[in-house]
């Protein structure tokens, strides 16, 4: 240990104590000395620890707590039980649901003692889940010191969440018995929850590792003796990487199994210690501003990591230092944890990719979490919110408002760089949280992580919402005051525990502003902000200037000062702050501008979380773009119009070219208009027909949080229809299946034109309906009750329908024969049950409202212009005759077999399928350029008409091809129903095949 460095740290700490802001502040001090032996063959760590604990608190302690975090990765743990109750992230819960086989970790403690001076003062201890609780015979008085000794073994399970063994590599975090934090609120001995991170005491770590020499090791701290192995795998960055690697792999001599290396790492003023070791690491080093930057990456990821990760790490260090303050440690190590995601520890980060955002986020945590040590379990926003904000600010500062590297990021295709519009990164984050805070499921930010209703709520409240709060704070204070107040906070609380109160009083002290109105609404309540320009007027003064009366109202319940921009006719603009915001829902502002005003906008730089910008301005911006498939473009201050050409065809009108135009504003507004013009003259009117269709989906901003209203009308070749529907969607927690969707609506069809569609019987029809659907991952259930509206309708009927579908799939293991020999990687089952009954009079129901035997519901088919009539597929009648669209009876073999519809149906469809999709290294299924699915299907049903019964069935094989061209998913299904049955007799199938662009179930 460097003596002078320690003295310096003590001095700095002492000086810090003397400032008024943290007078009376105290924190415990905990020094660890550990010896760790890695026995790779059994994935065991054999260790011993000596811990010196000093009670700096004014309290007398009669007990001690330690965390044994690895014990959580066992069936039945607190974490497991919470996952089973929907808490935490679904992706993480999956390991537990899959039974954790091969992933269990354990930590066992032996020879545990606590001594004060020469006295053993341990009375007894017990371990429950992840917590060790020790009772003391004699109390530990303020200012006293104790020594804790223990031997322990850690069986390293597979990599789950942040730590474990993966592909020969040890990612070791939360790996040792760790003293629980004790602060002014007492002990923080919470178990390892499904959601929630850590809280530790500052101190020094002195850790000696003994491990097979093959392993290259990196850790929190600096190497004080022994060889971590870096030089033996150091990349020569002065030459081409691929040729270096080739040569390296030819010449590298891996040390023998029975040889060991012994390395000692010392880390000072840290509250945690982590390490990684792998026989496959490569190493790069750079010195920046006296800080050693180490990068360790696995050879499998070397082509992505070489050089760029080192450069990005240095850039992140520099940016963070410039904006928040000095990096106080002698080194930083950026390591490759192989599995996606990332995690921060003092002086070391473990990253799952070379992504620049990820690097800035995790390195940024060394400032906010590492150096300012918050209780991550109770106030996760204090580190995640800061790192999310600083990552976004960094990316925008470096790459412009899009916030990513347009030139080198490999997820963008060259044509997308050229033609796509990309969202502003801040706007995307704002939309993401606006959706949440207006969903009806919002929770306040300041809540312990394990209390959030589910993983999405945690993500919103720990990360995005507080990052947007900090963005508003920056907007309020201005960049320079914002950064200097955070620098003050950082300086005052370096190597100490921070919390909300310490943060806010630090900001208030530097800014000399009272800000509780701002923080309380953000942190302790679920308020929304929505200011609106109610009205404005202008009048010209005698000197040529203009006086403006602007009246604004607050439709929400969160107050904010606003920047008001007035654009003037002469091309200039006037900006001023309105700060009369507190506890006020409306105000009229009078001001003068030099020339004629043409537009007024509240918050012109879109920095606040005003949930609806449409009412912030007297004139919204508009943008007209091509509707590229897969392109998501959602500015907050612009209405976007997307256009796409469309083409219909029928015998009467010939080709009918046109346009589809969508007008959207976030999730609040969607209007869709089709306009098409026939190229041939109508045989009756002798005019070219004009067709249109209009859909308006409206979502109220402040009321009916779960509901949407849909209005539509169209005059399309063959049919006119008008309708309206209210839809309500809800689930137990935010964005978590099962979803319940109920719809109530009606439609009427005044005109059917059988020259242009064969799907409808002619006549007038109006229908009113109620639908209810439960959308689950595995099973969906749908029901509908509907009735004709008499006397408008030419028919009279009532109908009740139930549909239930199941979908289950799994990837094949490597030993699976189908995978081994035929190359199919993934398989499953789909099933669907349908039951329905129609009550009607002698006239019966029209074709469009009855149950079709084979599927092909009229309403579903009419929605696709190429299925409206026999020639609609650009004149290829054969396609129409053999087309199958799943629905209703779904006995697909009976397509075009002239089986008439039914009044009552009970039917079942099933498919067993396998696909050749590839799983990537991270376990996600990836589409091959063309993925092929083979399926065996069988459909059977019983159909009633006025007392007569038909029993129909089919079975056959299908082949389905799917691909993506320019992000547009394409799907082609060819099914061969080679056996057909009717009432128990096999019948001849004169159509050997059916075709579809939709799934069979």
Q: Which residues bind Zn ion (CB under 5 A)?
A: 384, 387
Which one, 391 or 793, has the nearer CB to Zn ion? 391
Helix (H) or strand (E) holding 312: helix 308-324
Q: Are 29 and 201 in contact (CB under 8 A)?
A: yes
Note whether 103 and 75 are within 8 A (CB): no
For residues 169 and 276, give the distance between their C-alpha atoms in angstroms, rounded to a whole number.
7
Torsion 620-624-629-633 (CA) sign: negative
Query: Measured from the CB of residue 387, what is the shortest distance to Zn ion in angstroms?
Result: 5
The rounded distance, in Å, linking the Cα atoms of 1001 and 998 is 9
The residue among 302 and 382 lying less far from Zn ion, judged by its C-beta, is: 382
**Residue number with CB closer to Zn ion (364 or 827):** 364
Nearer residue to Zn ion within complex by CB, 280 or 460: 460
Q: How far is the CB of 403 from Zn ion (least distance, A)?
A: 17
Q: Closer CB to Zn ion, residue 299 or residue 465?
A: 465
Minimal distance, residue 380 CB to Zn ion, in Å: 9
CA distance 698 to 614: 14
Shortest CB 351 distance to Zn ion, Å: 11
Nearest approach, Cβ of 358 to Zn ion (angstroms)? 9
Residue number with CB closer to Zn ion (198 or 531): 198
* Residue closest to 206 by CA, chosen among 263, 148, 278, 132: 263
Beta-strand ranges (E) seen in 58-173 are: 61-67, 106-116, 119-120, 122-128, 131-140, 145-155, 164-166, 169-172
Q: What is the DSSP code (8-state) at residue 662?
A: E
Report the distance separating Cα 893 and Cα 913, nearest Å: 18
Least Å distance, CB 365 to Zn ion, is 5
- The smaller minimum CB distance to Zn ion, of residues 378 and 384, is found at 384
Shortest distance in whole angstroms from residue 349 CB to Zn ion: 10
CB of 91 vs Zn ion, minimal distance in Å = 16
The DSSP bridge pattern shows strands 638-650 and 621-626 to be parallel
> Which one, of 703, 777, 709, 789, lies nearest residue 746 by Cα?
789
Quick one: CA torsion of 847, 852, 855, 859, rounded to 10 degrees? 30
Which lies closer to Zn ion via its Cβ, residue 269 or residue 467? Answer: 467
In the bound complex, what is the minimum distance in angstroms from residue 360's beta carbon to Zn ion? Answer: 11
Give 196 or 893: the residue with its C-beta nearer to Zn ion: 196
* Cβ-contact 872, 866 below 8 angstroms: yes
Contact, 973 vs 964, CB < 8 A? no
User: What is d(CA 341, CA 355) in angstroms, rounded to the nearest whole number?
Assistant: 10
Closest CA to 679 of 718, 644, 716, 651: 651
DSSP-based three-state secondary structure for 981: strand
The CB-of-395 to Zn ion minimum distance in angstroms stands at 15
User: Please, which residue, 323 or 421, has the CB nearer to Zn ion?
Assistant: 323
Tokens of 954: 């089919």
In angstroms, give the least distance from the CB of 343 to Zn ion: 8
Q: For residues 489 and 486, what is the distance between their CA atoms, to the nearest angstrom? A: 5
Residue at token pair 């001690």: 64
Nearer to Zn ion, 235 or 470 (CB): 470
Nearer Cβ to Zn ion (93/350):
350
Give Cα 276 to chain centroid, integer Å.
Answer: 27
SS3 label, residue 572: coil
Beta carbon of residue 369, minimum distance to Zn ion (angstroms, whole number): 8
Q: How far is the CB of 821 from Zn ion (least distance, A)?
A: 44
β-pair partners for 160: 163
Q: Which is nearer to Zn ion, 376 or 871 (CB)?
A: 376
For the CB of residue 376, give the shortest distance to Zn ion in the complex, in Å. Answer: 9
Nearer to Zn ion, 47 or 382 (CB): 382
Kindly state the smallest distance separating residue 381's Cβ from Zn ion, in Å. 11
CA distance 102 to 96: 11
E strand map for 845-947: 904-915, 918-919, 925-926, 930-945
- Ramachandran angles phi, psi of 238, nearest 5°: -85, -10
Nearest CB to Zn ion, comparing residues 427 and 459: 459
In whole angstroms, the minimum distance from the beta carbon of 496 to Zn ion comes to 20
Helix (H) or strand (E) holding 391: helix 381-399
Q: Which residues contact 848 (CB under 8 A, 6 or more apart)?
A: 759, 760, 761, 765, 858, 859
φ, ψ for residue 198, nearest 5 deg: -130, 170
Minimum distance from residue 271 beta carbon to Zn ion (Å): 16
CA distances from 33 to 48, 267, 273, 274, 805 (A): 8, 11, 11, 14, 59
Secondary structure of residue 276 in the 3-state scheme:
strand
Tokens 């150096």 correspond to 371
Q: Of the two residues 384 and 761, which places its CB atom closer to Zn ion in the complex?
A: 384
Tell me how far apart the alpha carbons of residues 801 and 905 are, in angstroms, rounded to a whole number.
9
**Apex 383 CA angle, 378 and 387, nearest 5:** 150
Strand stretches in 271-354, DSSP E: 275-278, 281-288, 291-298, 331-336, 342-345, 348-351
Nearer to Zn ion, 384 or 612 (CB): 384
């Amino acid at each position: 240990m460097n003596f002078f460095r320690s003295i310096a740290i003590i001095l700095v700490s002492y000086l810090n104590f003397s400032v008024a802001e943290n007078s009376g502040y105290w924190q415990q001090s905990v020094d660890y000395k550990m010896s760790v032996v890695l026995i790779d063959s059994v994935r065991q760590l054999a260790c011993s620890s000596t811990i010196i604990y000093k009670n700096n608190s004014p309290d007398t302690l009669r007990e001690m707590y330690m965390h044994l975090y690895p014990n959580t990765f066992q069936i039945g743990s607190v974490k497991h039980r919470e996952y089973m109750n929907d808490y935490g992230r679904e992706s993480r819960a999956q390991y537990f649901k899959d039974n954790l086989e091969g992933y269990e970790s354990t930590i066992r403690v032996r020879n545990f003692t606590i001594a004060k001076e020469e006295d053993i003062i341990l009375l007894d201890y017990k371990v429950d889940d992840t917590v060790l609780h020790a009772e003391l015979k004699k109390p530990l008085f303020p200012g006293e010191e104790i020594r804790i000794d223990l031997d322990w073994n850690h069986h390293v399970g597979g990599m789950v969440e942040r730590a474990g063994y993966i592909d020969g590599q040890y990612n070791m975090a939360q790996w040792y018995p760790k003293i629980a934090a004790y602060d002014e609120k007492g002990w923080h001995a919470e178990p390892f929850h499904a959601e929630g991170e850590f809280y530790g005491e500052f101190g020094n770590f002195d850790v000696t590792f003994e491990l097979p020499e093959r392993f290259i090791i990196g850790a929190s701290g600096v190497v004080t003796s022994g060889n971590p192995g870096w030089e033996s795998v150091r990349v020569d960055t002065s030459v081409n990487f691929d040729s270096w690697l080739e040569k390296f792999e030819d010449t590298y001599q891996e040390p023998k199994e029975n040889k060991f290396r012994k390395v000692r790492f010392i880390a000072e003023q840290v509250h945690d210690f982590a390490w990684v070791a792998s026989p496959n690491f490569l190493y790069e080093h750079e010195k920046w501003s006296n800080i050693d930057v180490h990068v360790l990456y696995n050879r499998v990821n070397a082509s992505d990591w070489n050089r760029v990760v080192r450069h990005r790490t240095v850039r992140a260090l520099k940016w963070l230092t410039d904006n928040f303050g000095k990096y106080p440690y002698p080194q930083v190590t950026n390591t490759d944890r192989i599995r996606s995601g990332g995690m921060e520890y003092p002086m070391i980060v473990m990253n799952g990719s070379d992504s620049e955002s990820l690097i800035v986020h995790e390195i940024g945590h060394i400032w906010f979490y590492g150096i300012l040590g918050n209780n991550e379990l109770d106030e996760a926003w204090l580190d995640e919110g800061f790192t999310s904000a600083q990552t976004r600010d960094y990316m925008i500062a470096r790459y412009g408002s899009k916030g990513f590297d347009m030139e080198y990021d490999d997820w963008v295709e060259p044509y997308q760089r050229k033609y796509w519009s990309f969202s502003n990164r801040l706007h995307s984050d704002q939309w993401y949280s606006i959706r949440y805070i207006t969903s009806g499921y919002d929770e306040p930010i300041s809540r312990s992580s394990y209390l959030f209703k589910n993983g999405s709520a945690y993500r919103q409240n720990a990360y995005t919402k507080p990052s947007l709060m900090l963005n508003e704070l920056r907007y309020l204070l201005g960049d320079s005051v914002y950064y200097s107040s955070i620098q003050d906070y950082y300086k005052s609380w370096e190597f100490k525990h921070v919390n909300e109160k310490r943060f806010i009083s630090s900001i208030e002290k530097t800014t000399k502003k009272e800000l509780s109105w701002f923080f309380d609404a953000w942190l302790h309540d679920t308020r929304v902000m929505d200011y609106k320009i109610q009205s404005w007027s202008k009048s010209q003064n005698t000197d040529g200037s203009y006086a403006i009366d602007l009246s604004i109202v607050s439709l929400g319940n969160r107050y904010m000062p606003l920047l008001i921009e007035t654009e003037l006719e002469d091309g200039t603009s006037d900006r001023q702050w309105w700060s009369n915001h507190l506890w006020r829902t409306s105000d009229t502002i009078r001001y003068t501008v030099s020339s004629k005003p043409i537009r007024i906008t509240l918050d012109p730089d879109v920095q606040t979380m005003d949930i609806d910008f449409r009412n912030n301005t007297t004139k919204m911006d508009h943008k007209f773009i091509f509707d590229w498939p897969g392109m998501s473009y959602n500015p907050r201050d612009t209405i976007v119009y997307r256009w796409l050409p469309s083409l219909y065809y029928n015998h009467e009108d010939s080709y009918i070219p046109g346009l589809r135009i969508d007008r959207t504003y976030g999730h609040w507004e969607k209007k869709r208009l089709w306009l098409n013009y026939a190229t041939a003259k109508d045989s009756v009117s002798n005019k070219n027909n004009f067709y249109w269709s209009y859909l308006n989906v409206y979502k109220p901003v402040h009321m009916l949080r779960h509901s949407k209203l849909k209005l539509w009308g169209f005059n399309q070749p063959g049919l006119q229809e008008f309708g309206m529907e209210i839809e309500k969607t809800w689930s137990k927690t935010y964005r978590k299946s099962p979803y319940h969707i109920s719809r109530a609506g009606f439609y009427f069809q005044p005109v059917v034109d059988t020259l242009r569609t064969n799907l409808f019987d002619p006549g007038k029809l109006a229908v009113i309906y109620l639908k209810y659907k439960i959308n689950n991952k595995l099973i969906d259930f749908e029901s509908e009750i509907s009735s004709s509206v008499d006397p408008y309708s030419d028919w009279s009927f009532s109908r009740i329908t139930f549909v239930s579908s199941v979908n289950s799939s799994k990837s094949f293991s490597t030993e699976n024969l189908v995978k081994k020999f035929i190359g199919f990687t993934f398989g499953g089952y789909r099933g669907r049950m349908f039951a329905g009954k129609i009550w009607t009079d002698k006239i019966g129901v029209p074709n469009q409202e009855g149950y079709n035997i084979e599927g092909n519901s009229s309403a579903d088919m009419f929605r696709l212009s190429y299925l409206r009539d026999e020639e609609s597929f650009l004149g290829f009648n054969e396609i129409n005759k053999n087309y199958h669209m799943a629905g209703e009876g779904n006995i697909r073999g009976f397509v075009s077999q002239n089986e008439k519809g039914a009044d009552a149906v009970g039917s079942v469809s099933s498919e067993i399928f396998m696909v050749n999709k590839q799983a990537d290294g991270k376990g996600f299924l990836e589409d091959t350029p063309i993925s092929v699915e083979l399926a065996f299907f069988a459909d059977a049903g019983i159909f009633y008409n006025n007392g007569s019964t038909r029993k129909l069935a089919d079975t056959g094989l299908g082949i389905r091809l799917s691909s993506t061209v320019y992000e547009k998913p394409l799907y082609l299904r060819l099914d061969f129903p080679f056996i057909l049955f009717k009432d128990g007799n096999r019948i001849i199938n004169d159509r050997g095949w059916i075709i579809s662009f939709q799934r069979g179930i």
